[in-house]
Homo-oligomer: A and B are copies of this chain.
Amino acid sequence: MASQEIEALTQALARLPGLGPRSARRAVLHLMKRRESALTPLLRALEKVNENLSVCAICGNVDTTDPCGVCADPRRDARLLCVVEEVSDLWALDRSRLFPGKFHVLGGRLSALEGVRPEDLNIAGLVSRVAAGGVDEVVLAMNATLEGQTTAHYLAERLESYPVRLTQLAHGLPVGGELDYLDEGTLAQALRARRPVA
């Protein structure tokens, strides 16, 4: 019985990750009951992002500026380049504030199953950034999945002729991980990469 406009808003919200039809309905009611404090601020924020939305021509990040905030930040170490599969990975690593360098987003991973080939990813952009010089280390921060690791190996081959250090993220026990609950693959990685007790 809700009006068409309300139905459309509910459906648009329900498509967001983390919201289902039920919580979308609650969210719509929340917005409608709080026009000044919730609906209008959300509307204005969406308008601004929509106006300024751009994909960074350098690294492939999405931001409201191009070059993106990361690429434009002079305090970041341009000699360190971290390659990730998706924008969400860039955001996750950036949030941790542990990586002081720049990023490069591939836009996916090689996948025979899904028919994703090297030319479908932003690998040419990566190679030309490395070829341009000024990069000392490339961190291949692919996911610890079969496809992520295949992609990392492929990139390592593509970049091996350049004078850069290639590294990858350590694999092993996650913080708080209990041996009893971890999969065999993780245990095998952790054992293989075991280190002397300091």
* A residues apposed to B, CB below 8 Å: 1-3, 5-6, 8-9, 11-13, 15-19, 23, 25-33, 35, 38-50, 52-53, 62-65, 69-70, 73, 87-88, 91, 94, 97
Q: Which residues of B contact A40 (CB under 8 A)?
A: 50
> Which of A11, A48, A49, A87 has the most chain B CB within a 10 Å cutoff?
A49
Chain B positions within 8 Å of A63 at CB level:
2-3, 6
A47 CB → nearest B CB, Å: 7
Contact among B5, B19, B69 with A19 in the assembled complex (CB-CB below 8 Å): B19
| Contact A25/B64 with A31-B16, A53-B39 known, Cβ cut-off 8 Å | no
- Beyond A15-B38, A18-B23, A32-B53, is A5–B87 a contact (Cβ under 8 Å)? no
Known interface pairs A8-B45, A32-B62; 17 further A-B residue pairs with C-beta atoms within 8 A, sorted by A's residue number = A1-B97, A2-B63, A2-B69, A8-B44, A9-B42, A9-B48, A11-B45, A16-B42, A17-B26, A18-B23, A18-B27, A26-B88, A31-B49, A32-B87, A39-B50, A39-B53, A43-B47
Residues in chain B near residue A3, CB distance under 8 A: 52, 63-65, 69
Minimum CB distance partner of A42 in chain B = B12
Question: Which B residues touch A13, using CB under 8 A?
Answer: 16, 42
Name 12 interchain pairs, CB-CB below 8 A, sorted by A.
A2-B69, A3-B65, A6-B64, A9-B49, A11-B45, A12-B42, A12-B46, A15-B38, A16-B27, A16-B42, A17-B27, A26-B88
Identify the interface centre among A12, A17, A40: most chain B CB within 10 Å of its CB: A12
